[in-house]
Amino acid sequence: AKHLSAARNFKGSVALIFQPAEEDGQGAGRMVQEGLMDRFNISQVFGMHNMPGIDVGRFGIRDGSIMAALDEFDITIT
């Protein structure tokens, strides 16, 4: 947001989205079902996730999905 506000020649719209329930895999689907994409005319989404090990002020990038998983397991104590 800071860089976009400083770019006086930027033309377009940007929506900063903070996803609820991200860790359990429910947030994005609910946001889409509730019409977020249509309400703000969003055509592309670029996501970021914190990642320990990357220096402050830097971010990693790659093609395709990364860190896209939801795992569940049961533990039985006898």
Residue-level pLDDT, tens digit, the chain, 78 residues: 787 788 878 788 888 888 877 766 678 888 889 998 899 888 888 777 777 888 888 877 777 766 666 667 788 998
Task: Give the integer Cα–Cα distance in Å for 59 and 49.
Answer: 9
Task: Give the integer Cα–Cα distance in Å for 13 and 15.
Answer: 7
- CB-based burial label for 28 (10 Å; 0-12, 13-18, 19+): middle
Q: Structure pTM?
A: 0.51
Domain boundaries, the chain: 15-49
